[in-house]
Amino acid sequence: MDPIFELFLAMPTRDSRKLLRALHHQLRAAIVNGRLQPGLRLPATRKLATLAGVSRNTAVAAYELLQSQGYIHIRPGAGAFVTEQDSQPIRRSPTISDSNADSRLVSFWRNPPSLPAPFQPPYRFDFRIGLSDQSFFPFQVWQRLLVRSQRSLSKTSTFYSDPQGQPALRKMIASHVSITRAVAVQEHDIVVTAGTQQALDLLARILVTAGHTTVAFEDPGYEPARIAFAAAGANVVTVPVDKNGIIVDNIPPETHIIYVTPSHQFPLGHMMSVARRIALLNFAQSHDAVIIEDDYDSEFRYKSSPHDALQSIDHNGSVFYLGTFSKSLFPSLRIGFVLTPPWARDALVAAKRFSDWHSPILEQETLAAFIAESHLARHIRKMRKVYGERRTALTRAIKRHCSDLLAPIPVDCGLHLTALVKGNLMAATIAAEAEEIGIGLYSLNRYPIAGNGQNGFAFGLGMIRAEQIDVAINHLAEVMRHA
């Protein structure tokens, strides 16, 4: 009999703030007084929501709250567990056994890692991150090029295609990157991938020897990247970041791979300082390590001159530069790329060949034409302006309505802005309450790699209109004041 059942004797009336607090208090009390034993697996948030008669997000928030206070651990793919004295660091790769798991599966995949469920739109005020605003995208142009590419493809036998990517696209990416990021590169240095996730996966294959390779990872950081390395059997160690980026002095000497987001640290938003970049490159050179530079959204920069990419100031062939078109075009396209140092090219192309042969040709050819006819450059210029206005509106609104509650982290580029909570309010709680009144907003608790992450919000700029922002932040401020 599930011990959780007994807990819900009296839940208050339908008011999300009260519900969350009641749920949180009852769970915490049950843990403290031992009714919920250490190590006990708590029900899934969906089930908890049903049991408690609250929304899914309220249940999620209750768990995030308890986790942030150290009462429970959330282990990806395994569930939430009441904390034990000798507890493991939170959210490491799932290795605990599961009665349901089938012994024919590799242990890593018996409890598949998972990510927090995305909030469900629509929202009156949508601050979800990772989305770009497609309402500005020239779909008519895209469609015309799509049809043209399809026509020419239908005339040729497309049996064999280059796993490295269509030459036309690699050529265009090379010129695009050399312009947007001042990265010197030629088409033969580029490997086209199914977005950044496949780029990370392929690099993990060719660089990670299971049980041997150590990967240094930003904390907080981008969980899907961590999972790609963990799945390959890497020993992922987390390294804290400060306002200058990953703290190089904290990178273990035995590190083989360092994953960083220097242009726009995910999720905090800092840009890595030049000094830190040089220190990082020196570390890589002196330790024979490689750096994976994930440049996921830096085309959208608000300062005229961005810092040089690590790749462009590296003289040691130690940097893999990752780019994606998910932000500048749309995520469903699934096209990204790796700029690879020459010593790894053949291996990377072979890994691509034997993982999925090659990416679909139609999108590659269409994108090549889209870049060739300057539509991409034009669209990015347009969106820089759009997202820039939103960023300005957001920083102004925070200043106006809740500068005492939120401290925005200055950001030079990218599609989201992060603000840390001042004082004792729990961002996870606020986010859940904000969601109940139509504000879609992610708390940083969603992005811990180890420990509790940070107490703040990541405001996405992709879905909210500039003119909505002031009102939205005003509402958010009210929620925070009444919490």
Restricted to residues 191-210, the positions that interact with its own copies (CB under 8 A) are: 193-195, 197-198, 201, 205-210
What is the footprint of its own copies within residues 360-399 (CB under 8 A)? Answer: 360-363
Shortest distance, position 461 Cβ to its own copies, whole Å = 14
Residue 103 burial by CB count (10 A; 0-12/13-18/19+): exposed, middle or buried? exposed
Sign of CA dihedral 128, 130, 136, 138: negative
The C-alpha atoms of residue 443 and residue 427 are separated, in whole angstroms, by: 6
The C-alpha atoms of residue 215 and residue 225 are separated, in whole angstroms, by: 11
Q: Identify whether the C-beta of residue 243 lies closer than 8 Å to the C-beta of residue 270.
A: yes
Q: Which of 67, 68, 164, 359 binds its own copies (CB under 8 A)?
A: 359
191: which strand partners?
Answer: 338
Q: Is residue 451 involved in binding its own copies (CB under 8 A)?
A: no
Within 13 Å of residue 292, how many CA atoms lie on the same side as its CB? 31
Nearer to its own copies, 71 or 217 (CB): 217
- Stretch of 31-39, 265-273, 350-358, 430-438 lying at the interface with its own copies (CB under 8 A): 350-358
319: which strand partners?
Answer: 291
Nearer to its own copies, 88 or 158 (CB): 158
Shortest distance, position 96 Cβ to its own copies, whole Å = 15
Shortest distance, position 462 Cβ to its own copies, whole Å = 8
Q: Which of 351, 417, 421, 449 binds its own copies (CB under 8 A)?
A: 351
- Stretch of 32-40, 114-122, 390-398, 435-443 lying at the interface with its own copies (CB under 8 A): 114-122
Q: Which of 13, 85, 106, 253 binds its own copies (CB under 8 A)?
A: 106
Nearer to its own copies, 347 or 483 (CB): 347
The C-alpha atoms of residue 198 and residue 230 are separated, in whole angstroms, by: 14
Nearer to its own copies, 22 or 227 (CB): 227
Q: Is residue 118 involved in binding its own copies (CB under 8 A)?
A: yes
Q: Is residue 2 involved in binding its own copies (CB under 8 A)?
A: no
Nearer to its own copies, 201 or 218 (CB): 201
Q: Please spell the DSSP secondary structure of 306-355, one letter per residue.
A: PPPPHHHH-SSS-EEEEEESTTTT-GGG--EEEE--HHHHHHHHHHHHHH
The token duo for 365 is 């050819």
Q: Which of 110, 176, 301, 416 binds its own copies (CB under 8 A)?
A: 110
The C-alpha atoms of residue 180 and residue 178 are separated, in whole angstroms, by: 6
Nearer to its own copies, 107 or 374 (CB): 107
The C-alpha atoms of residue 155 and residue 464 are separated, in whole angstroms, by: 43
Q: Is residue 358 involved in binding its own copies (CB under 8 A)?
A: yes
Residue 116 burial by CB count (10 A; 0-12/13-18/19+): exposed, middle or buried? middle
- Stretch of 347-355, 428-436, 441-449, 466-474 lying at the interface with its own copies (CB under 8 A): 347-355
Shortest distance, position 213 Cβ to its own copies, whole Å = 8
Nearer to its own copies, 68 or 359 (CB): 359
- Residues 305-344, mask of contacts with its own copies (x by CB under 8 A): -------------------------xxxxx--------xx
The C-alpha atoms of residue 185 and residue 444 are separated, in whole angstroms, by: 35
Nearest of 201, 311, 205 to residue 263 by alpha carbon: 311
Residue 117 CB neighbour total at 10 angstroms:
11
What single-letter amino acid sits at 457? F
Q: Which of 30, 60, 131, 479 binds its own copies (CB under 8 A)?
A: 131
Residues 6 or more apart whose CB falls under 8 angstroms from that of 239 comprise 216, 217, 218, 219, 246, 247, 250, 251
- Stretch of 83-91, 129-137, 433-441, 475-483 lying at the interface with its own copies (CB under 8 A): 129-137
- Stretch of 48-56, 83-91, 133-141, 428-436 lying at the interface with its own copies (CB under 8 A): 133-141
Q: Is residue 167 involved in binding its own copies (CB under 8 A)?
A: no
Nearer to its own copies, 280 or 406 (CB): 280
- Stretch of 2-10, 52-60, 137-145, 440-448 lying at the interface with its own copies (CB under 8 A): 137-145
What is the footprint of its own copies within residues 207-246 (CB under 8 A)? Answer: 207-210, 224, 227-228, 231, 233
Q: What does residue 79 show for φ and ψ, rounded to 5 degrees?
A: 125, -165
Residues touching its own copies, count (CB under 8 A): 76
Taking CA atoms, 401 is separated from 172, 439, 472, in Å, by 45, 16, 10
State the pairing for strand pair 235-242/214-219: parallel
Q: Which of 347, 372, 377, 425 binds its own copies (CB under 8 A)?
A: 347
Shortest distance, position 104 Cβ to its own copies, whole Å = 6
Shortest distance, position 279 Cβ to its own copies, whole Å = 20
Q: Which of 85, 160, 249, 423 binds its own copies (CB under 8 A)?
A: 160
Shortest distance, position 192 Cβ to its own copies, whole Å = 12
Q: Please spell the DSSP secondary structure of 268-302, one letter per residue.
A: T-PPPPHHHHHHHHHHHHHHT-EEEEE-SSTTSBS
What single-letter amino acid sits at 174? A
What is the footprint of its own copies within residues 249-308 (CB under 8 A)? Answer: 256, 288, 290
